[in-house]
């Protein structure tokens, strides 16, 4: 009993002395922090997603305070955050282009049947290393959900063998884009009105054989677009969102339905 008491006393005393010392030190040697950094930090959403390119919201706030960062880099915060930051720093802020991630694949279980049975670690990275995955299409979604695992907001779910991103929840942090071993996820502007849901670069016949929803590179969309925003390169349609007017003609004409009309501004996953 006695020993326990001495033990408690000695350790407690050392802890107390250390604590008092720290309190005194922090009181007497306080350095006034730059207040703007604290205020900037409060405007940021605190998701620590790293989309701005800094180590987190704290890092971004510090960089803003030192004038080393643009005020419109916070993608989850969007225009509102950029405006608040601009007010604090007294800067004119260009509007943030809100972006969301889109999985460029629609190779569902029925559209693109597997050519082999995979029985191993449930991770896209592992699957991709084994002959590029068991699917008939070499380019498509592997469906193991690595992207869903890294998504900080839980916007991605796996449905019918393909990753689906809920555009209402997606904050455009780019984490899934970096994770996907097939590189089929990309960021598109929220104002975009159509998306290409395919990443296959196989020639038309081969792509079609592998997946009923594949882009076959028929160039119909390219011809139908009045703005010249859609182009087919390497057997795959690509939309230039800077030129897209959102008329939807390309989606109407698409024979396989890989080019779809979309509305990211409102509810509904693609």
Partner 1 sequence: MDGFKNIIMIIMSSVLVNNYVLSRFLGICPFLGVSKKLNQAAGMGVAVIFVMLMATAVTWPIQIYVLDRAGLGYMQTIVFILVIAALVQFTEITLKKFLPALHKSLGVYLPLITTNCAVLGVTINNMTDGYGFFESMASSLGCGLGFMLAMVLFSGIRSKIQESEIPTPFRGLPVTLIAASFVSLAFFGFAGVVDHLFA
State the residues that interact with partner 1 by CB under 8 A.
3, 6-7, 10-11, 14-15, 18-19, 21-22, 25-26, 29-31, 129
Q: What b-and-e string marks burial along 125-160, b requiring 16 or more CB atoms within 10 Å of the CB?
A: ebbbeeeebbbbbbbbbbbbbbbbeebeeebbeeee
Nearer residue to partner 1 within complex by CB, 17 or 159: 17
DSSP code for 255: S
Q: How far is the CB of 58 from partner 1 (least distance, A)?
A: 12
The residue whose two tokens read 């991103």 is 165
Question: What is the smallest separation between the CB atom of 6 and partner 1, expressed in angstroms?
Answer: 6
Nearer to partner 1, 19 or 255 (CB): 19
**CB nearer partner 1, residue 3 or residue 119:** 3
In angstroms, what is the minimal distance from the CB of 78 to partner 1?
A: 30
Residue with smaller CB distance to partner 1, 41 or 62: 62
**What is the closest distance, in whole angstroms, from the C-beta atom of residue 33 to partner 1 in the complex?**
10
Q: Are 177 and 151 in contact (CB under 8 A)?
A: no
Minimum distance of partner 1 from residue 123's CB (angstroms): 13
User: How far apart are CB 18 and partner 1 at their closest, in Å?
Assistant: 4
* Kind plus residue range of the DSSP H or E element containing 165: strand 162-165
Instruction: Please identify, using beta-carbon distances, which residue of 65 and 217 lies nearer to partner 1.
Output: 65
Could you give the CA distance from residue 132 to residue 140 in angstroms, rounded to a whole number? Answer: 10
Question: Cα–Cα distances in Å, from 103 out to 11, 244, 258?
Answer: 57, 19, 12
How many Cβ atoms are within 10 Å of 24's Cβ, its own excluded? 10
Q: Which is nearer to partner 1, 64 or 111 (CB)?
A: 64
Tokens for 85, please give them: 């930051």
User: Distances in Å between the alpha carbon of 112 and those of 208, 212, 237?
Assistant: 9, 6, 19
């Amino acid at each position: 009993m006695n020993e326990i008491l001495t033990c408690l006393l000695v350790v407690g005393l050392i802890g107390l002395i250390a604590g008092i010392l720290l309190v005194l030190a922090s009181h007497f040697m306080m350095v006034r922090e730059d207040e703007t950094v604290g205020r900037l930090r409060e405007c940021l959403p605190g998701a620590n997603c790293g989309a701005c390119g800094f180590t987190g919201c704290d890092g971004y706030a510090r960089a803003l305070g030192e004038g080393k960062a643009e005020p419109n880099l916070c993608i989850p915060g969007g225009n509102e955050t950029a405006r608040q930051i601009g007010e604090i720093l007294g800067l004119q802020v260009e509007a943030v282009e809100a972006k969301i991630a889109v999985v460029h694949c629609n190779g569902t279980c029925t559209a693109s049947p597997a050519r082999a049975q995979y029985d191993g670690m449930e991770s896209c990275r592992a699957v991709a290393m084994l002959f590029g995955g068991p699917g008939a299409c070499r380019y498509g979604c592997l469906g193991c959900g690595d992207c869903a695992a890294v998504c900080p907001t839980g916007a991605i779910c796996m449905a019918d063998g393909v990753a689906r991103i809920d555009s209402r929840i997606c904050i455009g942090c780019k984490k899934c884009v970096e994770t996907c071993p097939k590189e089929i996820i990309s960021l598109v502007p929220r104002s975009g009105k159509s998306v290409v849901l395919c990443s296959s670069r196989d020639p038309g016949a081969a792509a079609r054989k592998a997946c009923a929803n594949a882009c076959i590179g028929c160039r119909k969309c390219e011809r139908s677009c009045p703005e010249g925003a859609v182009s087919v390169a390497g057997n795959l349609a690509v939309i230039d969102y800077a030129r897209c007017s959102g008329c939807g003609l390309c989606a109407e004409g698409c024979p396989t339905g890989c080019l779809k009309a979309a509305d990211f501004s409102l509810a509904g996953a693609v």
